[in-house]
Structure 1
Amino acid sequence: MSGLGHLIRKITTDDYEAVAALVASAFERQDEANLVRKLWAQHATKFERVTEISGVIVGYCAFSPVTSKPDLDGLLLGLGPLAVAPEHQNQGIGTKLVRTGLKTCEDNNARLIAVLGDPNYYARFGFEPASKRKMSWAGFDAGDAFRVISHDDVGVEADDIRTIHYHPAFDIVS
């Protein structure tokens, strides 16, 4: 997918160092870059996309498997990290990456997609507070920052709160 000089494509191993540097720059710390490296080392990403402009990677978005207790069948994913180079933020690059990634998730019959992030930003993509689906994030009470998209009635009629667990690599991010 391309537009306005942006090319969105699948990541390759040749991109790893540029992506790690981009993620560290976007978050202004190494924690998220270390997370991405750990996900790669453990082959724990399902879908990854990068945006490049004139051959330079300026955006990155990953989706990795998540689990739930009680268990849910099907493909369950967590979005993150999403990173855009500081000099390219607020230009729609992140939005295009998320939309492309969500389309990939839908095309692969993902049953649930979770995200921890700015509620106002992620609401535009259809993410709703996980609490509406009787779900919580295993890490802590994130309030409306923990959001989900579900393509069925997952959790709506649950008797108990369903706990969503990200890959253990996410435990390094503080």
Structure 2
Amino acid sequence: MKVCVYPGSFDPVTNGHLDIIDRAAKLCDKLIVAVLVNSRKNPAFSLEERVGLLEKVLKDRDNVVVESFDGLLIDFIKEKNACSIIKGLRAVSDFEYELQMALLNKNLDPDVETLFMMTNINYFFLSSSAVKELARNNGNIEGLVPECIREDIMNKITK
């Protein structure tokens, strides 16, 4: 079974993330959307909330599961017997950082590949940070996040 992992903070999940998830799921037998605990970030949503939002959005996708992890991604990859890491790229600045991480992971485990997927042109501008900023200021996030969680995001951010 070919298992891939798409890691991220997903704070919150956007339609850009969902596009990468749907495209990546076609490349493997099982896609693990891995929500990371990142001590360098102060997320707006708790780990449990982020996992819950993703599970709500992805409930009808048969080969996609949501899990959380803390620690090194490469250790999570080994634990799950995954062969590849999926990373979405928007801009050159994303590539520079993600290339460094991919090379580091390759150094830690030469058998694990990192696959870079370019964002859909419709989501090139989209980030979780932008969604949170719009929501904080009562902006319209329709079309930026999955419709089934839009109200959840607005309720959380505008409190």
Shorter-chain TM-score above 0.5:
no
TM-score, normalised to structure 1, is 0.31
Normalized per residue, which structure has more helix? 2
Normalized per residue, which structure has more strand? 1
